[in-house]
Amino acid sequence: MQKINFSSQWSHLALKVLIFMMMLVIIMLAYPHKSGSFAYRFEVGRPWTHGLITAQYDFPIYKSDEQVREEQQEALRDFAPYFNQMKKVGAQQLKLAEEAAKGSVSREEMQYLRTAFRKVYEGGIISVEDFQRVKGEEHTRITVVNQQHKTLSVPLSRVSTPRMAYDSIVSGSPLGEQTQLRSLGLNRLLLPNLVYDSVTTASMLNKLLDDVTETHGIVQKGEKIIDRGEIVDAQTYTILSSLKRTMEERGIDTARANWMKVGIFALFFLFTLLMALYLYVFRPKLFSDIRSVLFFCILISIVVVIACLVVHYTPLSIYIVPFAWVPIIIRVFYDSRTALFMHILTVLFCAFLAPVPIEFLVVQIAAGMVCVLSLQDMAQRSQLFQTTFWILLSNILCYTACILVQKGGLEMIHWHIYLYFLANALLVVCSYIIIFIFEKTFRLVSSVTLVELTNVNSDLMLAFAEKAPGSFQHSLQVSNLAMEAAKRIGANALLVRTGALYHDIGKMSAAGNFIENQQGGLNPLSALSFEEAAKVVIAHVQAGVEIAEEHGIPEVIISFIRMHHGSSKTRYFYNSYVNSHPGEPVDECLFQYPGPKPNTKETAIVMMADAVEARSRSMQEYTEESISAMVDHMINLQIADGQLEDTPLTFHDIQIVKQVFTRKLISMNHHRIAYPELKF
């Protein structure tokens, strides 16, 4: 009895628990936690899906940002910037102008000059920079503060710049005197008497903005806000937004925040536990494989983290997240049941991110079902496009149906959601790239890769057919036998066919040593001792492994090469040696393949098909009785030798395999009638 290594088992279990916990931690860290206690999601026009909400305390109703901006703009519309009036500037500059004009102009012109100076200074003169600032800010008036601190609102049209005042004085002079006035250099004497008061302007501006309140009304404690099933209208939306803002500003007490996190953690821990239990109970082989456990956890973590980032950091809808990646990628490498289960767990993790969780769950679970149904075996790339189309159609129909159920009409549909569904479909198509990455990272094999490997026109297969034609034909026949048997007992037929094609590829390295490639010529092994001949034949297994590794053949296919003889003996040379050395001890290791024995249904089927097909070549007659007896004998011999003891095959499976092999060999070795010759 083989000794069980409990230490190794516990270390593997601990590693798997660590992987599951790491997934849980990653999801918890990525999950957006609310800073306040208002964790509800709501939209205008959508029904309130939660319970009754009442005000726990008085809180103000906040205006929207757009409404506040409009009121601020309205308040600033009649605002006029402030200027201080310098009273003495006009008198001083007029005195200088009189001195400059004395003796150069007539008495009438001097009188005009005094009148014009007083007029422009009464209207006010400001600097060019201040004038451009006021005009650029689209003000039509300014506020003038005189020396008695009284304010006066003055239209901007009455105010002049020094240049404008100069042109006004010169152009208004009596005929014939403009040239005389220009020669006086009055433009240098017209200084501003209104100075911009930035401090007062900023102060008054802030006061106006402060007068525009952010609130309009108040919700009193105990007042009903909304109840389940009621439609969120614009007013209710404003109140709910105000409640959310108030709660976030007030903050949430530490105890309540911790309880919220405990609730989320408990749910996510339950989902993780269900995932582990599913694998342990229904897929023990996957649970025992650390690589598969890591694959599932990484894939789910990636999709959930993407959903968290989209919801928390972008304005995009959660429906743009390609949740179908999970069932598509898992179905390509594993089975439909596992794909659907993992998909449901993924959408459960993300349900609380959606505005309407029930609607989200219906849409996504239906999409997962459609995905699994339409993607039974992805043997061609075109199947992914077909699956994407059905997922898109499912999303549209389910979302529309949910709106009809909730609203009783299409008037409240958010049509932009359909654009998100279209973008989601484009991302689903990109899953082919993700499949390739996971295939290389975890050394998995997809159906598409298996189909590519079965191409007999590939360089490796063409070289196999050229160097070892008999072995190549033998491999083709084995693949036909094995694939039919695999279909009947529910094994992976495509994997069996691929493994059968490559199982004897090692015979390329020394094709002439094998009878099927000698075409009636001299057998080189006849010149060797039985031990040496057995060694040459056994070597084709390791040679096949090396050739496969050199050409990048996946490990799962290489396992067929290693296991197709298991730990059996080269019966021809072993029996011949025993018969020629009667009574002598025999070192069986010299005639025994290194193994390992087959450990899956698929590798066992190929072993049985290989032995049966090879033995059928040496039969003298091909009748139903002789073929059936041969099949029974060869497979029973493998059972008695313990070659199938590590496989999950049942006796019922083996009986079906025997029947398939018998029927196929009869059809492959059927008789034809002889054509009569022409008589002349």
- The mean pLDDT value for 348-365 works out to 91
Report helix, strand and coil shares of the chain as percent, to nearest 5: 65, 5, 30
CA 321 → CA 149, 196, 304, 424, distances in Å? 65, 57, 9, 6
Per-residue burial over 463-474, b = 16 or more CB atoms within 10 Å of its CB, e = otherwise: ebbebbebbbeb
- The mean pLDDT value for 585-612 works out to 92
CATH 1.20.120 assigned to domain 449-579+586-668? The reply is no
pTM of the complete model beyond 0.75: no
Residue that wins the pLDDT comparison between 524 and 520: 524
Cα–Cα distance between 625 and 396 in angstroms, integer? Answer: 60
Confidence of residue 6 (pLDDT cuts 50, 70, 90): very low
The model's pLDDT over 473-505, given as tens digits with 9 standing for 90+, comes to: 999 999 999 999 999 998 989 999 999 999 999
CA nearest to 395, candidates 423, 373, 433? 423
| pLDDT value of position 312 | 85
Residue that wins the pLDDT comparison between 588 and 463: 463
Delimiting residues of CATH 1.10.3210 domain(s) in the chain: 449-579+586-668
Burial environment of residue 557 by CB neighbours within 10 A (0 to 12, 13 to 18, 19 or more): buried
| pLDDT value of position 548 | 94
The model's pLDDT over 423-461, given as tens digits with 9 standing for 90+, comes to: 999 999 988 888 888 888 888 888 878 888 888 899 999
| pLDDT value of position 472 | 93
Confidence of residue 508 (pLDDT cuts 50, 70, 90): very high
Confidence of residue 1 (pLDDT cuts 50, 70, 90): very low
| pLDDT value of position 679 | 66
Q: Which pair of structure tokens corresponds to residue 54?
A: 């009442």
* Percent with pLDDT over 90 in the chain: 41
Question: Chain-wide mean pLDDT for the chain?
Answer: 86
- The mean pLDDT value for 279-287 works out to 93
- The mean pLDDT value for 337-365 works out to 93
Q: Which pair of structure tokens corresponds to residue 443?
A: 């050394």
Strands 59-62 and 215-219: antiparallel
Strands 224-226 and 53-54: antiparallel
The model's pLDDT over 27-69, given as tens digits with 9 standing for 90+, comes to: 999 998 654 456 677 778 777 766 678 887 788 888 887 888 8
Cα–Cα distance between 238 and 64 in angstroms, integer? Answer: 8
**Amino acid identity, residue 509?**
S
| pLDDT value of position 272 | 96
Query: Does 250 score more than 50 pLDDT?
Result: yes
Cα–Cα distance between 20 and 99 in angstroms, integer? Answer: 98
Number of H helices, E strands in the chain: 28, 8
Query: Does 680 score more than 60 pLDDT?
Result: no
Query: Does 216 score more than 90 pLDDT?
Result: no
CA nearest to 606, candidates 467, 462, 505? 505
Confidence of residue 174 (pLDDT cuts 50, 70, 90): low
Confidence of residue 2 (pLDDT cuts 50, 70, 90): very low
Confidence of residue 176 (pLDDT cuts 50, 70, 90): low
602, 495 Cβ separation under 8 angstroms:
yes
Residue 109 has a CB neighbour count (10 Å cut-off) of 17
